[in-house]
């Protein structure tokens, strides 16, 4: 095998390695922003992702006529789940949840009521 042939094989192997590792490296360095999602309204349960690992997170839920606070810690993968004990967010009220992590992560969720409800909203 000639020296030129060996150099070509090494260059090709390096290119294949760089192409395979490049996207993975780019993906892991661009951190996704934390997000929240409503799981259920009664009792109020919120889940989140993309928080820093093992970060203490304080969630504050606010709706007209009520407010609730829950504190939890994210998993190694940055996920959180918080159940607000003894709190239910009415279906006919706008719900706003803010999560603030001890290391600066922040996420907000706003859930608007459905446009029309078959029954009148209490209160």
pLDDT at 89: 87
Q: Give the integer Cα–Cα distance in Å for 65 and 93.
A: 9
Phi-psi label, residue 3: left if phi above 0, alpha if psi -120 to 50, beta otherwise: alpha
Q: What are 6's two structure tokens?
A: 């060996």
Domain boundaries, the chain: 1-30, 35-111
Can you list the residues of the chain whose pLDDT is less than 50? 25-29
pLDDT at 71: 97
HSE of 64, CA atoms in CB hemisphere, 13 A: 10
35-111: what CATH class? mainly beta
What is the enclosing helix (H) or strand (E) of 118?
none
């Amino acid at each position: 095998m000639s020296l030129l042939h060996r150099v070509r094989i090494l260059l090709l192997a390096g290119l294949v390695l760089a192409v395979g590792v490049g996207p993975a490296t780019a993906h892991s360095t661009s951190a996704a922003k934390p997000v929240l999602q409503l799981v259920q309204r009664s009792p109020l349960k919120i889940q989140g992702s993309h928080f820093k690992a093992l970060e203490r997170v304080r969630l504050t839920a606010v709706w007209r006529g009520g407010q609730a606070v829950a504190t939890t810690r994210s998993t190694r993968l940055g996920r959180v789940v918080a159940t607000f004990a003894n709190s239910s967010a009415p279906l006919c009220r706008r719900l706003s949840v803010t999560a603030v992590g001890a290391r600066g992560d922040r996420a907000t969720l706003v859930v608007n009521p459905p446009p029309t409800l078959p029954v009148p909203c209490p209160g």
